[in-house]
Amino acid sequence: MSGVLPPWREPVRDEWIDYNGHLSEAYYVLVLGHATDAVMDHVGLGPEYREAHDASLYTVEAHVRYLDEVSAGAELEVRSSVVGATGKLLHLWHELWSGGRLRATEEVLGLHVAGGRAAPFPPDVAAR
């Protein structure tokens, strides 16, 4: 599992704007979480997989850098890469872009969990 994945895109919603007139920090993380969900879908860990196998990817560590403000009405694009994987772990890198500028980054370590316990990725998921 490595490489760049299709970008995640979504607009900033008015209710995400804080008292300073910019995207509130919690919503940076929400959008980056949506990008993680898109990666999960791309590698075969989407809703159907979760339902059929009682398994999912759990975030066990995340590091966010807030680099620039995002204004109301902005369009967001998250560019994601799988930077590493082991039998049970997936290491992701997200870059949040808006208006041609890098606004935030997030590094995520996800653990594959099945039946409430850490478990190896199925072979087809590992191949992707």
* Per-residue pLDDT reduced to its tens digit, 97-119: 999 999 999 999 999 999 999 99
Residue in the structure block whose two tokens are 């808006």: 98
CA proximity to 95, closest of 81, 82, 78, 111: 78
Rounded Cα–Cα distance for residues 122 and 28 (Å):
31
- The answer, yes or no, to whether residue 80 has pLDDT greater than 90, is yes
Locate the domains of the chain by residue range: 3-127
CA proximity to 104, closest of 24, 1, 20, 4: 24
* pLDDT on residue 127: 87
pLDDT digits (tens, 9 = 90+) for 45-69: 999 999 999 999 999 999 999 999 9
* pLDDT on residue 3: 57
Buried b / exposed e over 17-53, threshold 16 CB at 10 Å, is beeeebbeeebbeebbbebbebbbeebebeeebeeee
Average pLDDT, the chain: 95
What is the pLDDT averaged over residues 14-30? 96
**pTM of this structure:** 0.92
**Per-position DSSP letters for 102-118, written without gaps between them:** EEEEEEEEEEEEETTEE
Q: Which numeric CATH code is attached to 3-127?
A: 3.10.129.10
